[in-house]
Amino acid sequence: MRILIAGAGPAGVTVAETLREMGFEGDILMFTAEPYPPYSPPVLAEYLKSRGKDRTVFWKGEDFAEKAGVNLLFREIIAVDIREKKVYARGGEEFSYDKLVIATGARMWIPVRCQCQGEGEKFYNFKSLSAVDRLLQELDKGAERAVVIGAGFIGMEIALTLKKAGLEVAVVEMMNRILPRMVDEKIARPLQEEVMRRGIELKLNSRAVLLRGRERAEELILESGEVLKGDLFIAATGVKPNVDFLKDSGIPLGRGVRVNEYMEAGPDVYAGGDVAEVRDTVTGNIYPHAIYPEAVSQAKVIAANLLGERIAYPGALNMNSLHHFGLPLISEGAMEGEEVADEELYLEGKDGIKRILLKDGKILRFELVGEKRGAGILHWITRRRLPFEPFRDAFLRGRLNVALQLRFLP
């Protein structure tokens, strides 16, 4: 049997590794549109800070393909025919498969018009190793000022990393706070103070509308008319699953690839990672969850099902953590504005802030800043959709810890 994996990110790599661990001895073909062996997206910030010297970005080793017995092909797939069981690569090559895994990830979505006469890069991003290498080339040329569009998780990671690299940094955000999908205003406030203390300029309640320049991008125009000059303009405005090559394939598409509970997208076709639409454990809503741990979990389910199992994926859980502020930040559950809570629990002390949103007696989302104790049990409660009432008193007294978790575990 020949299994073809489109994509060499965490989902694709985990499918291949799990297949081998389960004893699969057939052919595995893995395709990547990038000129690198598989790499870890969460390590891109460290890679940038090291100016490309930190090779731990290749977290499975640069010899991954050889060790895993994978035929790694540096080709972009541009079309799929599920009736003929073939994929087509740029340049005209075609490849047959017995089973197909789509793990092509997502790319940056940029809702800003551009009026630049030159042919060079307009917007940079932080979504791939190729993109980070292009950023490094500009740093080597002496770039001094960066403007980041978007103050979400990726935007703030980029801004803080570039500031550490010695650049002047401004961040533009259309909402009234940083991390608007992760935390509320009370949680965001101390984080914003830390960001400004580090010398990063924040432009909140500001919408970017136009990027302008001659030979290269030179200035960003805001809806207010304000002009921000820069050497680098970096988009961190959200991601869009890479599904354009599937439009005429017969594979069901929405925002991403639509899959059932077994991660199937069609006959002998599976999808996982940033590209797959999956059910959210907390809200029940279905959409792509661009989260590393969920990509790995989905991939393990896919690998087992490729080999004849019928294992259902239990659903995804949004989770993010940032440590670049000097204050640990953990946010987990429904995104801000996705669902309306009917109760809020809020604790603020010398060690940090804890906030829990409840709906129908269960955790809708929790946020921790500065204080990580209790994160494990809150994750456990949230993932299992347990009623919060048995834990309420311990939380309010600041005693939600590992001992309590052990007490309530079956």
Tens digits of per-residue pLDDT, 64-122? 999 999 999 999 999 999 999 999 999 899 999 999 999 999 998 888 988 887 666 78
Positions of E strands within 236-293: 239-241, 257-258, 264-266, 269-271, 276-279, 286-288
Rounded to a whole number of angstroms, the distance between the first and last alpha carbons of the chain is: 41
Could you tell me if 48 and 165 are in contact, meaning their C-beta atoms sit under 8 angstroms apart? yes
Question: How confident is the model over 327-339, as pLDDT tens digits?
Answer: 789 999 999 889 9
CB 360 within 8 A of CB 311: no
pLDDT of residue 373: 81
| 107: helix, strand or coil | strand
Q: Where do the domains of the chain lie, and which CATH numbers do they carry?
A: 2-107+240-306 (3.50.50.60), 110-237 (3.50.50.60), 319-408 (3.30.390.30)
Q: Among 140, 135, 189, which residue's Cα sits nearest to residue 159?
A: 135
Say yes or no to pLDDT of 203 above 70.
yes
CB 228, CB 203: distance < 8 Å: yes
Better pLDDT: 10 or 326: 10
| Three-class DSSP category at 29 | strand
Would the pTM of this model clear 0.85, i.e. be above it?
yes
Return the percentage of the chain with pLDDT > 70, whole number.
97
Angle, CA of 87, 89 and 91, to the nearest 5° = 145
Average pLDDT over residues 222-244: 95
Residue with tokens 């060790």: 67
Query: Judging by DSSP bridges, how do beta strands 106-108 and 239-241 pair with one another?
Result: antiparallel
pLDDT value of position 406: 53
* CA dist., res. 90 & res. 274, Å (int): 22
With a cut of 60, say whether residue 405 has pLDDT above it. Answer: no
Triad 282, 286, 288: Cα angle to 5°: 100
- Angstrom CA distances, 91 to 159, 179, 258, 335, stand at 38, 41, 28, 41
pLDDT value of residue 337: 84
